[in-house]
Amino acid sequence: MSYAQKKELSGNRTLAIILVVGLQFALGYAIVTGLAYNVIKKTMQDLKTFDVEEEPPPPEQPPPPPKDMPKVPPPPTMPPSIVQMQAPPPPIQMQVAPSPPPIPPVSIAPPAPPAPPAPRKVDAARAKGDVRLLFSNDDYPPSAQSANAEGTAQASLTIGPDGRVVGCSLVRSTGNGALDSATCNILKRRAKFTPAHDSTGAATTDTYTTPPITWRLADE
């Protein structure tokens, strides 16, 4: 037998084995399926014809006879007592007086500070001073001497609170500028006054008008 024939014979045998196994499997499946169907069918028929009977309950047992209990004499009967009920007292009515309205708070103002003492009244006084002794022959301006200038001046002075002259203006001129200038310069440098004071006694500013001041050359 050739190799090709052996191979073909082996293939046919394998195919035959597969067919036999498949046929047995199909036959077994059919048998099992048929048997299962018959069993289920018979079981359903048995269920249809089976009657379930309930068992009757067991008879009730009579209770055991009671044991001998000691005899207890009945309680003595007492005649009903007569109870006198007193009428309840009338209810007590409480009257509450209405509470008074709240008193608004009173604001107490602090006491006013004491009034300052009244200023001490005094008589107002003018500035006082004397300017007549402030001038001498040595104060004659040289230019006025050379020009033989003479004349009378009168000044209005402003006196400060310290008594010093703070302002000077001529209300009467000598006619010579050197003499007028010398008049105010000497008054500002040398004059010292008692300052004026008001009604409270405080020093204040004042004005003062000088007496006539005459410039005259000495006779030779």
pLDDT tens digits, 72-103: 666 666 655 454 555 655 654 545 456 666 66
Give residue 217's Cα distance to chain centre. Answer: 90
Range of the domain at 2: 1-47
> What gap in Å lies between CA 49 and CA 93, rounded to an integer?
90
Other Cβ atoms within 10 Å of 105 Cβ, number: 6
* Helical ranges in 72-153 per DSSP H: 142-146
> What gap in Å lies between CA 165 and CA 35, rounded to an integer?
159
Q: Is residue 3 part of a domain?
A: yes
Q: Is residue 60 part of a domain?
A: no
140 in Cβ contact with 217 (< 8 Å):
yes
pLDDT by residue for the chain (220 residues), tens only, comes to 555 555 555 666 777 788 877 777 777 776 666 655 564 566 555 544 445 455 666 666 766 666 666 566 666 666 554 545 556 556 545 454 566 666 666 566 677 777 776 655 556 778 788 888 889 889 999 999 999 999 999 999 999 999 999 999 999 999 999 999 999 999 999 999 999 998 888 999 999 999 999 999 887 5
The reply to whether the predicted model has a pTM over 0.95 is: no
Q: Is residue 23 part of a domain?
A: yes
CATH at 166: 3.30.2420.10
Task: Tell me how many degrees the CA angle 7-12-18 measures, rounded to the nearest 5.
Answer: 130
Give the number of domains in the chain.
2
Q: Pick the last residue of a domain from 13, 28, 47.
A: 47
Q: Is residue 127 part of a domain?
A: no
